[in-house]
Amino acid sequence: MFKIKIIDITRELNSETRVYEGDPHVRLEKFFTVDNYGYAVTKLTMGSHSGTHIDAPAHVVAGGKTAREIPLSTLIGDAVLVYKKDFRIPRGTKRVILKGSEETEGRLSEKSARSLVDAGVCLIGTDAQSIGNDSVHKILLSEGIVVLESLDLSKAEPGQYILCALPLKIDTDGSPIRACLIREWDEE
C-alpha cells in the first residue's frame, strides 16, 4: 500500500461565511443544548450556494440535474489543478480546478468556458466565489458540466490529484460540499 496526502479545499461554514450578494446568510442556531435537553441539535439556515459548494445544472437550466442526481463518478476522480492565468490542460482531462491568485482571477471568460466544453471536461472548480457571469454558467451547466465554487486552494499547488467533492443527497440546484484533493505521499 502507498501512503496518501489529503488536502482539504473546503472553507468553513459559519455565520461569518461570505455569501453571494443577496443570498441568504448562514445561520447556526442552538435548537437544543446538552445543558437544557440532554442532547444538542443545531438549526441550520443557509442558501444552497453557501460557502464551498456545487452548482448543479438545475441552477440555471429548468429541469436540469439536481445535486442528488449528479453521479458520484463525476464528483470523485482524477483532476488537474492549474493556475487560471493562461491555463492549459492535458488532453483527456475530465476535472479541472482553477486557482486564481486573486478572487476575480478564478473566473472564466465565455471563450474559455466554451473551450472547456469542447475539451470534454465534466467538472470545473474555482477558488473564486463565482465561476463567471450568467452566460458562463449557462454554457457550462447546460452541457451538464458541474461547477465547484469558493474552494480554498491556499494549500494546493498545481498538479495531478484525485478529487473528492461530495454534495448532500438533496434535490436542489446546489449544495454545500466537503471537498479534498488526494495525492500519493512522497515524503519531501
Contact positions toward Zn ion, by CB under 5 A?
49, 55, 149
Shortest Å distance, C-beta 145 to Zn ion = 13
- Minimum distance of Zn ion from residue 174's CB (angstroms): 5
With vertex at residue 7, the alpha carbon angle to CA 155 and CA 100, rounded to the nearest 5 degrees, is 40
The closest residue (CB) to Zn ion is: 49
Query: Do 84 and 106 meet the contact criterion of CB atoms below 8 Å apart?
Result: yes
Q: Which residue has the cell 473564486?
A: 128
Taking CA atoms, 181 is separated from 41, 77, 132, 153, 155, in Å, by 30, 10, 23, 10, 10
Residue with grid cell 465554487, as numbered in its chain: 149
Q: Which is nearer to Zn ion, 23 or 29 (CB)?
A: 23
CB of 160 to Zn ion, least distance (A): 26
Nearer to Zn ion, 147 or 164 (CB): 147
Bridge partners of 28?
44
- Pick the closer one to Zn ion by CB: 49 or 99: 49
Closer Cβ to Zn ion, 24 or 158, answer by number: 24
Least distance from Zn ion to the Cβ atom of residue 126, Å: 10
